[in-house]
Chains A and B, each alone.
Chain A
């Protein structure tokens, strides 16, 4: 898997920042791979940080493989929902590069706090991709062990996890686990909608005041269900960081290389004790908010088409082809692997057993509760009363 070179920590003002037009303001976008698949050697962020990556060919191919697999598994989940096998699904379509780039930038000791759409980060953390499908199928509400995989449970209440990440990061600092190359850092995922939440703004305050080793990673996918970015903010989101006293940067969230470089740089700053920062990964939710949503009611086709031209996988494929880093056999093999894994995922989802009815009483409290013991016992007897009857 891609390890690559962390974004250079050297600061230089020689190269002028790039300017690109965005939905709000005139964003400075850190980009290392253009939509046409052209590599940019390095780019200077708004605070003078120079971002670059130096991957081996194998690492470049690894990132491409991640992107394709993550998209394919996501598409399979959407299909499973359409066939009634999942109650709902929150697709990451379009956001693969932001998630794989940031997910691969995490070092093993780093802790992540996701929303409910971070299937790509989850994949990078080595968690069985069936886990979130259990959640959306309704057989579980959590799944993986957050401490084992250093990836917390999904959080559905918008923005609540940013405070958890902040507290966890405070604990990292209190444990003396910052200030060295092998220090720990924490990343909090959230979206443009969440940026309006009180909890997110409180997390900004806390992280700044306590110098928490934390990266706020905002995937600005332009929509909070139907509400466009302009309903959440009148300045570019990354600029909010300045008011809280830490750096903010906007990265091309459809560029896996830049997403990686910017995140790795911010995480390494955090682990070295330099405190929090905010990354705004500028991207686009190509699909619906969830399978229950109908985006044709609130956005026009031409907008979606414009973003289609910035597709994160197409540009990576173009780059690999142009640079002869990968050939047709490689692309075919990756597609084959993705197909195989999605079929396997489907088979396992269909075989997922429903939980035992009385399991709903489990784990309410670590030390149990007499009230629940009584209710479980009464409910068990009630269920037993049907045994042998036709009902």
Chain B
């Protein structure tokens, strides 16, 4: 077993390399993914080793990236599309929602679109506007798409390969501000034995309240749990990992034990993932709840200017404040 210490970004890079090696039908396409290796270097070195027919620099048109990937998928390829930044996915929105998501359904299973749409998402990097958004609710709301997000290097390495191997179209949300976080990655573990793609997982066990997060907010919640432990309060942190479909069995089990749940995401609260999760917890765990399910989220504003994004983004203190409120009920 070869365990290496990799950043999330590098783990994705190695995972993509593995996918290209294992399946000649896998092609990577996007803006600047070739020589440059992507603006975040996630595809670094791949075009050099696999050629420009498999790692394709595309014209600058997102609808074109996704629309041509649909055709490639019908032809039998497995396109992995990179959308350079979250805020640039909207020109491709029609192709994703009206075409990618519906092909299998409309054809009664005759056409499969085994496509992965990689999107670096979320804020916290001091970027100019349109570079820090969290569009997961749009895609989770769309039947026919699956939506996942990784939160650590091991998951990044495994989940990107699982998403590519899946016959479903998968929107793969990468926590861009965590790209540089390091952790151990077992690069030899067989994919078949890996933890399932569409399954949530306890990231830190606890007994007093349950924190629910995905992508970049998992780290925030883990830090909050560490801080809470110093105050004698044990918070369980669940990394949801899959946003569509949600996998809430482990969540219900946790909330029935703790009686308290706080959902944390960067996206605005209004009609967001937190609303759906709170509703389902209420349906399934009503008699176990000691307090309403609370949400700690970005505000219902456009993503703000970088100098105030730390105020916009949920952080350790806002998470712990919400936990405190669940105990004050």
Q: Interface of A with B (CB < 8 Å)?
A: 113, 140-142, 145-147, 152-153, 155, 157, 160, 162-172, 174-175, 198-199, 202-203, 205-206, 209, 362-367, 369-371
Q: In the bound complex, do residue B109 and residue A164 qualify as a contact, i.e. CB atoms below 8 Å apart?
A: no
Complex A-B: 21 CB contacts under 8 Å: A141-B105, A146-B74, A155-B99, A157-B94, A166-B68, A167-B71, A171-B77, A199-B63, A199-B64, A199-B95, A202-B63, A202-B67, A205-B59, A205-B61, A206-B68, A209-B59, A363-B109, A364-B144, A365-B104, A365-B146, A369-B245
| Residues of chain A contacted by B112 (CB below 8 angstroms) | 366
**Closest chain B CB from A22 CB (angstroms):** 30
A283–B219 alpha-carbon span in the complex (Å): 61
Q: Contacts A145-B110, A362-B108, A366-B112 known; A168 to B94 CB distance under 8 Å?
A: no
Give chain A nearest CB distance to B249 CB in angstroms: 9
Verify B63–A370 contact, CB threshold 8 A. no
How far is A321 from B94 in the complex, measured between Cα atoms in Å?
A: 50
Q: Does B130 sit within 8 A of A, measured CB to CB?
A: no
Q: When chains A and B are docked, how far (Å) is the Cα of A291 from the Cα of B254? A: 56
Q: Which residues of A contact B285 (CB under 8 A)?
A: none
| Most A C-beta atoms less than 10 A away, residue of B61, B67, B74, B91 | B67
Known: A142-B107, A152-B74. A365 touches B68 (CB 8 A): no
Q: Which 8 A-B pairs have the closest CB atoms?
A: A167-B71, A163-B67, A171-B75, A167-B68, A168-B71, A202-B64, A366-B167, A164-B71
Cβ 8 A contact of B105, one of A146, A152, A199, A363:
A363
Count of chain B residues with a beta carbon within 8 Å of a chain A beta carbon: 45
Query: Is A172's CB under 8 angstroms from B75's CB?
Result: yes
CA distance A365 to B108 in the complex (A): 10
With the chains together, A224 CA to B280 CA distance in Å?
Answer: 46
Interchain CB contact under 8 A, A370 and B247: yes
Tell me the smallest distance from the CB of B307 to a CB of chain A, in Å.
34
CA distance A357 to B167 in the complex (A): 26
- Chain B residues with CB under 8 A of A145: 107, 110
17 additional A-B pairs beyond A141-B105, A145-B107, A146-B74, beta carbons within 8 Å, are A142-B108, A153-B111, A157-B98, A162-B67, A166-B67, A167-B70, A167-B73, A167-B74, A168-B75, A199-B94, A202-B63, A203-B68, A209-B59, A365-B104, A367-B167, A367-B168, A371-B246
Interchain CA distance A153-B106 in the complex, whole Å: 8
Measured between alpha carbons, how far is A365 from B72 in the docked complex, in Å? 19
User: Is B245's CB under 8 angstroms from A171's CB?
Assistant: no
Give every chain A residue within 8 A of B189 (Cβ-Cβ): none
Asked whether B67 lies within 8 Å of A147 as measured between CB atoms, the reply is no
Query: Would A157 and B59 be within 8 Å (CB), given that A164-B74, A168-B71 are in contact?
Result: no
- Residues on B with C-beta less than 8 A from A170 are 68, 71-72
- Chain B residues closer than 8 Å to A362, beta-carbon distance: 108-109
B144 & A365 in contact (Cβ 8 Å cutoff)? yes
Among the listed B71, B77, B166, which residue makes an inter-chain contact with A166, where contact means beta carbons less than 8 Å apart? B71
- The reply to whether A367 and B110 contact each other, CB–CB distance below 8 Å, is no
Is the CB–CB distance between B63 and A142 below 8 Å?
A: no
Q: Are B144 and A203 in contact (CB under 8 A)?
A: no
Chain A residue numbers with a CB within 8 Å of B94 are 157, 160, 199
Interface residues of B in 77-122 (CB under 8 A from A): 77, 79, 91, 94-95, 98-99, 102-112
CA distance A231 to B143 in the complex (A): 36
- Given A157-B99, A362-B108 in contact, is the A167-B72 Cβ separation under 8 Å? yes
Cβ contact within 8 Å between A366 and B99: no
A146 and B76 CA atoms in complex are apart in Å by 13
**Which A residues are CB-close (under 8 A) to B63?**
163, 198-199, 202
Which residues 151-190 in B have Cβ within 8 Å of A in the complex? 166-168
Contact B107 A171, beta carbon cutoff 8 Å: no
CA distance A147 to B73 in the complex (A): 12
Query: Are B98 and A146 neighbours in the complex by a CB distance under 8 Å?
Result: no
The answer, yes or no, to whether B301 is at the interface (CB within 8 Å) is no
Q: Taking CB as reference atom, which chain A residue is nearest B107?
A: A142
Q: Check B67 against A167 for contact (C-beta < 8 Å).
A: yes
A117: min CB distance to chain B, Å: 17
- Separation of A49 and B215 alpha carbons in the complex (Å): 58
> Which A residues are CB-close (under 8 A) to B74?
146-147, 152, 164, 167-168
Chain B positions within 8 Å of A113 at CB level: 71
